Chains A and B, each alone.
Chain A
Amino acid sequence: MIPYIANTKKDVEEMLKCIGVESVDDLFKDIGPKHSPKSFNLPSGKSEFEVVKKLQAIACKNTSSLINFVGGGYYDHYVPAALSTVMSRSEFYTAYTPYQPECSQGFLQALYEFQSSICTLTNMDIANASLYDGGTALYEAAMMAIRVTKRNKIIMDGGVSPIYRKILKTYTSNLNFEFEETPVTHGHSDRDKISELLDKDTAAIILQNPNFFGAIDDHSDIIEQAHSKGILVIESVYPISLGVLKTPGEMGADIVVGDGQSLGLPLNLGGPYFGFMATKKKYVRKMPGRIVGETTDKQGRRCFVNTLQAREQHIRREKATSNICTNAALCALQGLVFMSLLGKQGFKELAELNYKKGEFARQTLEKIKGVEVKRSSPTFNEFTVCLSKDACYVVEQMINKGFAAGFPLGRYYKGMEHYMIIAVTEKRTKEEILNYAKALKEVLKDKS
Chain B
Amino acid sequence: MEVNDNFIYTKEHEWASIEDNIVTVGISDYAQESLGDITFVELPAKDDEIDQFGDLASVESVKAASDIFSPMSGKIVEVNNDLEVEPGLINKSPYENGWIAKIEISDPEEASNLMTADEYRKFLESEG
Task: Indicate if A52 sits at the interface (CB-CB under 8 A).
Answer: no
Contact A309 B67 (CB under 8 A): no
Contact B40 A315 (CB under 8 A): no
Task: Indicate if A285 sits at the interface (CB-CB under 8 A).
Answer: yes
Contacts of A309 in B (CB 8 A): 62-63
Task: Indicate if A319 sits at the interface (CB-CB under 8 A).
Answer: yes
| A108 vs chain B, min Cβ distance (A) | 15
Contacts of B40 in A (CB 8 A): 285, 310
| A317 vs chain B, min Cβ distance (A) | 9
Contacts of A285 in B (CB 8 A): 40, 42
Task: Indicate if A316 sits at the interface (CB-CB under 8 A).
Answer: yes
B43-76 residues at the A interface, CB under 8 angstroms: 60-65, 67
Contacts of B64 in A (CB 8 A): 310, 315
Contact A310 B67 (CB under 8 A): no
Question: 1/0 per residue A311-354: CB within 8 Å of B?
Answer: 10001100100000000000000000000000000000000000
Contact B60 A319 (CB under 8 A): no
Interface size class of A (residues with CB under 8 A): under 10
Contacts of A316 in B (CB 8 A): 65
Contact A319 B67 (CB under 8 A): yes
Interface size class of B (residues with CB under 8 A): 10 to 19
Contact A315 B63 (CB under 8 A): yes
Q: Name B59's closest neighbour in chain A (CB-CB).
A: A310
Q: Bound state CA distance, A311 and B63, in angstroms?
A: 10
Q: Bound state CA distance, A309 and B62, in angstroms?
A: 7
Q: Bound state CA distance, A316 and B62, in angstroms?
A: 12
Q: Bound state CA distance, A118 and B106, in angstroms?
A: 49
Q: Name A285's closest neighbour in chain B (CB-CB).
A: B40
Contacts of B39 in A (CB 8 A): 310
| B48 vs chain A, min Cβ distance (A) | 12
Q: Name A314's closest neighbour in chain B (CB-CB).
A: B63
| A308 vs chain B, min Cβ distance (A) | 8
Contacts of A319 in B (CB 8 A): 65, 67
Q: Name A316's closest neighbour in chain B (CB-CB).
A: B65
Q: Name A315's closest neighbour in chain B (CB-CB).
A: B65
| B54 vs chain A, min Cβ distance (A) | 14
| A283 vs chain B, min Cβ distance (A) | 13
Q: Bound state CA distance, A311 and B64, in angstroms?
A: 9
A262-289 residues at the B interface, CB under 8 angstroms: 285
Q: Bound state CA distance, A285 and B62, in angstroms?
A: 13
Contacts of A308 in B (CB 8 A): 60
| B63 vs chain A, min Cβ distance (A) | 7
Q: Bound state CA distance, A218 and B60, in angstroms?
A: 39
Question: 1/0 per residue B22-41: CB within 8 Å of A?
Answer: 00000000000000000110
Q: Bound state CA distance, A11 and B3, in angstroms?
A: 57
A89-143 residues at the B interface, CB under 8 angstroms: none
Contacts of B61 in A (CB 8 A): 310
Q: Bound state CA distance, A319 and B61, in angstroms?
A: 15
Query: Which of B42, B62, B64, B65 counts the most A-chain CB atoms under 10 A from its CB?
Result: B65
Q: Bound state CA distance, A308 and B61, in angstroms?
A: 9
Contacts of B65 in A (CB 8 A): 310-311, 315-316, 319
Question: 1/0 per residue B71-113: CB within 8 Å of A?
Answer: 0000000000000000000000000000000000000000000
Binding site for A on B (CB under 8 A): 39-40, 42, 60-65, 67
Q: Can you report 20 residue pairs joining A to B where beta carbons are below 8 Å apart?
A: A285-B40, A285-B42, A308-B60, A309-B62, A309-B63, A310-B39, A310-B40, A310-B60, A310-B61, A310-B62, A310-B63, A310-B64, A310-B65, A311-B65, A315-B63, A315-B64, A315-B65, A316-B65, A319-B65, A319-B67
Q: Which 8 pairs from chain A and chain B are nearest by CB?
A: A310-B65, A310-B60, A316-B65, A315-B65, A315-B64, A310-B64, A315-B63, A285-B40
Task: Given contacts A285-B40, A310-B39, list 8 more A-B pairs with CB under 8 A.
Answer: A285-B42, A308-B60, A310-B61, A310-B62, A310-B63, A311-B65, A315-B64, A319-B65
